[in-house]
């Protein structure tokens, strides 16, 4: 089984990837938060900072693109191929209202014929491998067989399946019957994404769905940065390792943003996931959120990392993947 880090906007960017790979090696692929190419056909400085290969030496990174234009996709894919990337991922799963309203992400799933024309054009001249990250449909899982039949027409390098529809966002039960259907009827290698937060859950999925060759971890990996390490036979991160990882991530954001206040705001997002691993986390998280100055945030974060008891794995609430 392979393990991937999910693309989470603002959370699993270049700084996170470098620091996580340093402290918890073993992720087979880090999929970047999406880049949305435009008709200008020019990456922004911010996008380049996320994509430059020299910032990802020895880190397995796959860029993700969000677009409904084959022309824009092929331009970006060509640029990425020149940078040395060998694979690009097409986002067909983002449920954001602004994204869907533009017919991108999960919004494209509502128009199978348009989706098919786009895939036909990009696969006819694609300069590198293309994987897809998809949901089951826009409103109902009954849409998925039609979508899978379209996907089966093309040499997709991998199908990353989040077994919910757009209307579900990240709530409710995942549709495991659709995962079984994808294992039976899909032609591309299959990666599962959704609601796996413990080694036991991942092991059970691998046992019950032998057709799944990879698991994508998102929120579960942020809550437990050592999750993949444990899946590969390693140990739970001790308090000092977790503290060193946290501090390196914080300092990485300080350097990237040139502002400890901005880094604090980004770390508050990260803490909203990590805190579920600690006893009394809700009260601690309220204090972290209210911290107005970086010195206060630093003191509160270190207090949690050094002193707050950690929950046993079975007691840690699962809050789903993206």
The answer, yes or no, to whether residue 316 has pLDDT greater than 90, is no
Section 18-23 average pLDDT: 97
What distance in Å separates the CA atoms of residue 44 and residue 42, rounded to the nearest whole number? 6
Q: Does residue 313 fall inside a structural domain?
A: no
One domain, residues 243 and 177 = no
Q: Pick the more confident residue, 240 or 54.
A: 240
pLDDT of the residue at 313: 67
Range in 111-115, 244-248, 278-282 with the lowest mean pLDDT: 278-282
Alpha-helix runs per DSSP H in 87-236: 97-101, 112-125, 144-151, 176-185, 199-208, 219-223, 227-231
The structural domain count of the chain equals 2
One domain, residues 151 and 53 = yes
Q: Does residue 322 fall inside a structural domain?
A: no
pLDDT of the residue at 145: 98
Q: Does residue 316 fall inside a structural domain?
A: no
Share of the chain above pLDDT 90, in %: 92
Entry pTM: 0.94
Section 32-51 average pLDDT: 94
One domain, residues 122 and 271 = no
Question: Where is the domain boundary, 231, 252, 275?
Answer: 231
One domain, residues 255 and 208 = no
CATH, residue 192 = 3.20.20.70
Domain region containing 146: 2-231
Q: Does residue 314 fall inside a structural domain?
A: no
One domain, residues 161 and 299 = no
Question: Where is the domain boundary, 199, 231, 263?
Answer: 231
pLDDT in tens, 89-108: 999 999 999 999 999 999 99
The CA-atom distances, in angstroms, between 280 and each of 53, 244, 301, 306, 309 are: 41, 22, 13, 14, 8
Q: CB-based contacts of 48: which residues, under 8 Å, 6+ apart?
A: none
Q: Does residue 201 fall inside a structural domain?
A: yes
One domain, residues 264 and 289 = yes
pLDDT in tens, 138-176: 999 999 999 999 999 999 999 999 999 999 999 988 999
Q: Does residue 129 fall inside a structural domain?
A: yes
Mean pLDDT of the chain: 94
pLDDT of the residue at 190: 98
Question: Where is the domain boundary, 206, 231, 256?
Answer: 231
């Amino acid at each position: 089984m392979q393990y991937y880090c999910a693309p989470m906007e603002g959370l699993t960017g270049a700084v996170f990837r470098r620091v996580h790979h340093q402290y918890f090696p073993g992720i087979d692929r880090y999929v970047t938060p999406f880049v949305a190419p435009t008709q200008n056909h020019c990456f922004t400085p911010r996008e380049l900072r996320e994509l430059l290969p020299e910032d990802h030496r020895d880190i397995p990174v796959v860029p993700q693109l969000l677009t409904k234009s084959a022309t824009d996709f092929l331009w970006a894919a060509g640029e990425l191929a020149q940078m040395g990337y060998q694979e690009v991922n097409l986002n067909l799963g983002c449920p954001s209202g602004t994204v869907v309203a533009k017919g991108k992400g999960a919004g494209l799933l509502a128009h199978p014929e348009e989706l098919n024309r786009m895939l036909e054009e990009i696969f006819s001249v694609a300069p590198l491998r293309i994987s897809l990250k998809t949901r089951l449909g826009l409103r109902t899982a009954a849409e998925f067989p039609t979508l899978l039949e379209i996907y089966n027409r093309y040499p997709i390098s991998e199908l990353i399946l989040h077994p919910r529809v757009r209307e579900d966002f990240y709530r409710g039960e995942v549709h495991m019957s659709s995962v079984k259907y994808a294992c039976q009827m899909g032609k591309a290698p299959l990666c599962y994404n959704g609601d796996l937060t413990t080694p036991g859950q991942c092991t059970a999925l691998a046992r019950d769905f032998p057709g799944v060759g990879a698991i994508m971890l998102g929120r579960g990996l942020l809550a437990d940065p050592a999750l993949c390490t444990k899946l590969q036979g390693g140990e739970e991160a001790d308090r000092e390792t977790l503290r060193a990882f946290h501090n390196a991530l914080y300092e990485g954001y300080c350097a990237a943003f040139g502002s400890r206040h901005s880094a604090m705001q980004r770390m508050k997002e990260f803490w909203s996931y990590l805190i579920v691993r600690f006893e009394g986390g809700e009260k601690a998280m309220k204090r972290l959120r209210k911290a107005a100055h970086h010195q206060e945030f630093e003191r509160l974060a270190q207090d949690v990392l050094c002193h707050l008891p950690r929950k046993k794995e079975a007691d840690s609430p699962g809050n789903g993947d993206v």
